[in-house]
Structure 1
């Protein structure tokens, strides 16, 4: 892990961004304030209904059972579960024990799971017997000392009596290892401390302070932001917890109507799939008043579409390594909320390198990676993190992410921003979502390929029509799409982000 410069540590502590408390302390305080808050899992295979106090008791029984087996502060507890009650119990038990939680998205397969367990070598692994295509394969976790399988023997890990209080841990020490979504290669293990995660939770809680309605969480809790959003933010607000274990827009719309639940945003895909569903109606807008978008590229066409529906849309920018770099408040001017990624969050600093790469540092920045060599490459001695993103910083302090360094298409020696082309394609009436990647070209080396997901009832426009619209917009010819592809959907990460390297691979083998 990296060494945080002493002057930054002192600054963060003096400002109250870093506190002498663990995730367990934060959790216990929040649960004590609203023990009767509702906790429901909306699932066809494992529904559950009760209170947060009941889930806390299960978590404390799990903590007591694991403590009796020798698990304590600093030990790693991994879980690969859908959005079920047992996922909350496992996360909360880890926090109570002062352990290091390792969430794993439930649709990761044997290869990713083997890599993660081999990297972390957890003391405990909690998983599901089966869910969708997921199946428990005992040999993958054969080296893990303690394994619990929900649907089989999970209850054997629970002690009869719950553990009282929390175990002491170093607030500056590791609390979570979050594996990145693997958009380019094998997942990377990102290490966060109790202090960085608690700071992030408070940042998000303050960002969403206006909307206190009951939220429906459908993003996988195996992704750490999904986990924090489902199992920590509602606790800080004293709000009920509602989970959906399969993202089905029709089911989400039905729950909005029947239970008065809200969908507060996330990656654009989750929002646009609601708007494009045939069951969507004007009455649903009451449950989507404030829509915060982030986690992947946010086209202006999407924020304007939401605004035209009377909703308040705003954008945020961050990553697994640095979760909340910039954001716009819901009260910000419209041009800032819709067309930029906002201003630096409290305590966060940003600057641009000579090539436009965004560098950031702040109190919610991770401690580094499980791979020391990668940590040395990505962080410098002054605490700056190389994001790998390209951006433009306006005079008023607003940042706009314009591309990933890896997403620049080099067409005949000219650099083409994939994000810029995606923004233009998203404005076409036929297009629900656009992904632009480099496709091999014998003459130019790389050409611009557009992979489109269409709105219901529309057909793929011809290349001539697309180029005509780009010409009307005054876009340089080298940026015009040269290949068009249609897909029903893209391969995605747990957070809904398109896995572009897989799109590239599929395109490369189809031409």
Structure 2
């Protein structure tokens, strides 16, 4: 087993240098050897711009080849890298940088506007890869790292909307990648082609790249998903494996149905893969019926990517009604309250805030996920709900508290509760429920979204639905009974 991500890349470059690794949407292909060479050159480029061993380097970039090369370059150095989702706007970027105590932020022209004040910034040029190609060969890579050192920081939503800094090592990420590759049988197909259609700064970005190196397959980098163009793009590049979230499956299914064709829009596709949100059995069935491929879903989180993964060889029932079995090196158990607990090689060594970590671990060191579920007799896991009060919209965790706190500043809102509601396209939609205020007109959904835009919240956090009620149902402690509220408002919308 290769120890570090850089060693995995260099081993692949030595054994199959001419194999493709990164494919841009315009058709440009970078081989494994070229990616290894460019990532090594990028370490000198970064050093020339003041990046030094021991620094924490945050970056915010879309899912293009330059971002992948930069990420692999930082993985060669003795820095800590903190990827930030390119969807984040300035306030979310600033929160992430403060939690990571970042020394520098790397952006490109598409994300430079999100830069908060007071942080040194390095902007990638448009021709970053061409610049790296002109750097002389035989690059001496600065810094050394152990596979067990926490050189990665990822961010996850907390119950108050303030993200948690989740530490990872090369070893934890590679454990997830090896398990994912093995369960899915990635690379078994003669001409396997994968994709990264989700934000590469998500923890899945590095895991998927590692899968590509382990399985020996190229990945198509898609910086912006265009629903109308996506099926053609995937067909053009003869993609065999793609996915990301339940919303992504739904997008491709909708395109297939809208086409009116019985023939698949992506003839080479052999399965959809991903996770991040529940995938209903009905969606499994529709994808099989209309697209002719299975959905091979997984269960994971920022703290422990790829916990349980369905297998390509699973039955239709197993794939449709479970999230698969734990990957090698991971153990799952159900606690006394029905909460899923886990330990294993893919688990984070902890949060940046040690007190936060102590609150979610058991006395014997198992991580409490905040999810409820049960293990089937065949060893597969079923997720039945969440203990955490989070909305999962298109695979992203959204904190109701954060949105509620912002909306309470609106002049037409005195009381508000934000809840998630099931939605076929998004997994869950964001619904704002406002209590009617005597003597004032009702606020509109458009006004709510405009207000949140002005407050700097990214669009993914804006409500898709607004409901106005006379009273909120309350618990015995005087808190809004959100489960009861959700049942009450099912139906009418504004």
1:400 matched residue in structure 2: 382
Maintained 8 Å contact 1:191/1:368: yes
Q: Is 1:307 aligned with 2:288?
A: yes
The whole-number CA distance in structure 1 between the counterparts of 2:114 and 2:300 is 34
Deviations 1:256-291 (A, max 9, x none): 232212343221111110110234842335333222
TM-align CA RMSD: 3.4
Which residues in structure 2 correspond to 1:481-500 (within 5 Å)?
A: 482-484=489-491
Which residues in structure 2 correspond to 1:12-161 (within 5 Å)?
A: 21-38=3-20, 39-42=22-25, 49-67=29-47, 71=51, 74-129=54-109, 131=110, 134-136=111-113, 140=116, 142-144=118-120, 147-151=122-126, 160-161=136-137
Deviations 1:213-254 (A, max 9, x none): 21232111011212331x322222222231111111222211
The whole-number CA distance in structure 1 between the counterparts of 2:159 and 2:217 is 33
Q: Which TM-score applies when normalising by structure 2?
A: 0.74
Worse overlay, 183-192 or 89-98: 183-192
Worse overlay, 113-122 or 65-74: 65-74
1:295 matched residue in structure 2: 276
Maintained 8 Å contact 1:148/1:154: no
- Runs of at least 5 residues in structure 1 that lack an aligned partner in the other structure: 1-18, 410-417, 443-459, 461-476, 487-509
1:194 matched residue in structure 2: 170
Relative to 1, partners in 2 of residues 1:142 and 1:54: Cα closer, same or farther, differing over 3 Å?
farther
Q: Is 1:185 aligned with 2:165?
A: no
1:283 matched residue in structure 2: 264
Query: 3-state DSSP class of the match of 2:306?
Result: coil
- Runs of at least 5 residues in structure 2 that lack an aligned partner in the other structure: 392-418, 437-464, 466-483
Relative to 1, partners in 2 of residues 1:95 and 1:240: Cα closer, same or farther, differing over 3 Å?
same
Maintained 8 Å contact 1:316/1:326: yes
Q: Is 1:369 aligned with 2:346?
A: no
Query: 3-state DSSP class of the match of 1:284?
Result: coil
Maintained 8 Å contact 2:324/2:381: yes
Relative to 1, partners in 2 of residues 1:391 and 1:97: Cα closer, same or farther, differing over 3 Å?
same
1:11 matched residue in structure 2: none
1:217 matched residue in structure 2: 196
Relative to 1, partners in 2 of residues 1:142 and 1:55: Cα closer, same or farther, differing over 3 Å?
farther
Query: 3-state DSSP class of the match of 2:18?
Result: coil
Relative to 1, partners in 2 of residues 1:55 and 1:154: Cα closer, same or farther, differing over 3 Å?
closer
- Which residue among 231, 234, 243 is the counterpart of 2:212? 234
Worse overlay, 283-292 or 315-324: 283-292
Maintained 8 Å contact 2:147/2:171: yes
Deviations 1:365-423 (A, max 9, x none): 001111121111112342200101011223333221111113599xxxxxxxx99x94x
The whole-number CA distance in structure 1 between the counterparts of 2:47 and 2:108 is 22
Relative to 1, partners in 2 of residues 1:154 and 1:314: Cα closer, same or farther, differing over 3 Å?
closer
Maintained 8 Å contact 1:24/1:166: no
The whole-number CA distance in structure 2 between the counterparts of 1:355 and 1:60 is 49
2:244 matched residue in structure 1: 266
Relative to 1, partners in 2 of residues 1:67 and 1:109: Cα closer, same or farther, differing over 3 Å?
same
Q: Following TM superposition, by how much is the alpha carbon of 1:152 offset from its aligned partner in structure 2, in angstroms? A: 8.9
The whole-number CA distance in structure 1 between the counterparts of 2:304 and 2:268 is 29
The whole-number CA distance in structure 2 between the counterparts of 1:188 and 1:48 is 37
Relative to 1, partners in 2 of residues 1:111 and 1:120: Cα closer, same or farther, differing over 3 Å?
same
Query: 3-state DSSP class of the match of 2:347?
Result: coil
The whole-number CA distance in structure 1 between the counterparts of 2:106 and 2:435 is 47
Deviations 1:151-190 (A, max 9, x none): 3999889954452467421221112111125686122111
The whole-number CA distance in structure 2 between the counterparts of 1:284 and 1:89 is 31
Q: Following TM superposition, by how much is the alpha carbon of 1:50 offset from its aligned partner in structure 2, in angstroms? A: 3.9
Which residues in structure 2 correspond to 1:6-17 (within 5 Å)?
A: none
Q: Following TM superposition, by how much is the alpha carbon of 1:317 offset from its aligned partner in structure 2, in angstroms? A: 0.8
Q: Which TM-score applies when normalising by structure 1?
A: 0.71
Query: 3-state DSSP class of the match of 1:401?
Result: strand
The whole-number CA distance in structure 1 between the counterparts of 2:141 and 2:426 is 49
2:360 matched residue in structure 1: 378
Q: How many residues align?
A: 412
